[in-house]
Structure 1
Amino acid sequence: MSAGRGRAGSGAGAPAGPAVGIIGGSGLYELPGLTDVRWRRLRTPFGAPSDAYCVGRLDGRPVVFLARHGRGHRLAPSEVNFRANIWGLKALGVEWVISVSAVGSMRETIHPLDVVVPDQFVDATRRRASSFFGEGIVAHVGMADPVCPDLATALEKAARQAGATVHRGGTYLCIEGPQFSTRAESRIYRSWGVDVIGMTNMPEAKLAREAELCYATLALVTDYDVWHEAHAAVSVEAVVANLRRNVELARTILRRVVPLVALPRTCPCPSLLRHAVITAPRAFPPATRRKLELLIGRYFPKDRMASRGRRSTGGARG
């Protein structure tokens, strides 16, 4: 096992071939079974990720694992640097991101210890940077279907193979936290028609889309939030107890899903930025252009930008 540091975007330390990224949520701070393990601590244009990345192989496939809250669970949901986390995964050659998340159920038919693979999100967060863009370069990425259908299908199949009770589809409501909901809030959220509630998948899913990564969530149900009259209100004790029961299931699902991730990608995810940047290239601030090279470089190559600049200024007078 080795450790290293590097600037994200350099490619140093990236696994050979496209990698599957796994973001471990509450209770999942490491991924047993990885071989050829190296730890990579990266610096990104958006600050430091939650922890070092664990780069290795699972059944021969390149895998990059990151503990969302840091090993030891040091970061509250609002403190997670989602931009740095996703940027680092992209820089390390990740093309697919599986987000493992503890959630509460908002429906009678979804029980604690069940697994949900949601296909929609509602973002009710308030304090989180939700885009890589800005500072002179504007992009609008579509979010109508925020989950990669191919990755979600593989995740559902792996969960069923592992013996889990699986719910495919549904809406994940992301609240700011770190407090749990009031009963009044929980009733309102239920009236919205959401299926599960958590604190971490937004803006993670938005940023994965901007980075052209396939994204899907393995949501592990731990409780009924506070709306269910026949069950005790959610507590840390209840969440932790069910997480301990679910964590081995999650690891089994992850070991099964990695070989199911198909190459090459045939979904729309790899080209989400193709028509999303609306700022005229000649108006790109040079510093922002350099900052976003990892995301937009293939659409706006530096040599082409330089030639455009020469053409636009070469005949100027006065």
Structure 2
Amino acid sequence: MRFTRLRLNGFKSFVDPTDLVIADGLTGVVGPNGCGKSNLLEALRWVMGENRPTAMRGGGMEDVIFAGASTRPARNFAEVVLTIDNGERLAPSGFNDADQIEIVRRITRDAGSAYKANTKDVRARDVQMLFADASTGAHSPALVRQGQIAELINAKPKNRRMILEEAAGISGLYQRRHEAELRLSATETNLARVDDVLEQLGGQIATLARQARQAARYREIGEELRRAEGMLLFRRWAEADHARLAAEGDLTERTRLAAQAELAARAAGKARMAREDALPPKREEEAIAAAVLQLLIVQRDALKD
């Protein structure tokens, strides 16, 4: 893996897009004080995952964005692109599917930083591990900033050890070991939490089992009650239907008797009317008979005299 190009846009003093081609062999950058030579090294460290504002000689990470000048307005973002030759395919897995790797870091005001690797969004940790596995990175001893030699001479043994580990290329292993220990610790914590959750769930399961039994018993009682109510309603319906049929039969019989009585009444009425029609001639005959009888009596009495 070899750096081949560094592109800056809006990073510190590099307000305009700037390409730095890193050819084979030695590449030197010369210029007067304040022209931005140190900014190139800081841009390289920044795109490799540096997250300490003090390492960028700023109070906050947004200080790497061009802040403006008397003749140039401030920029809203800064972007650094590092191109890496991966022709020998020595990059870690996940980055080793192309002959060239392009790492992009972009920071926007009030939005933070974002990383991309060959146009794919990646995490800062992914970029840091990429360079750590390649025995380099933002804290590599090969990147010597101003005053770092004096710091190394005056450093404590622990700090010197870290620098030697970086130079030996084992810092990535320590980083992965640290991450593995963190994951192991998190897993142990999760297992302890799982045990607690299982214990809590055991109590909840017992309660739910009791509630389930109660619910099943409630359903059984409800079904028995519905069957009893159905039988009671059917019995009441049968009795009511039987009473209805009996009432209908009685009504039919009474209707028949009423019809017969009505016919008899009509016949009696006709007979009475017939008798009434026959009564005047008989009365007349009776009157004539009475008159004849009276006449005969008078004649009899006259004969006696």
Report which of the two has the higher share of helix.
2
TM-score normalized with structure 2 length: 0.21
Larger radius of gyration: 2
Q: Per chain length, whose mean CA-contact separation is higher, i.e. which structure has more relative contact order (CA < 8 Å, sep 6+)?
A: 1
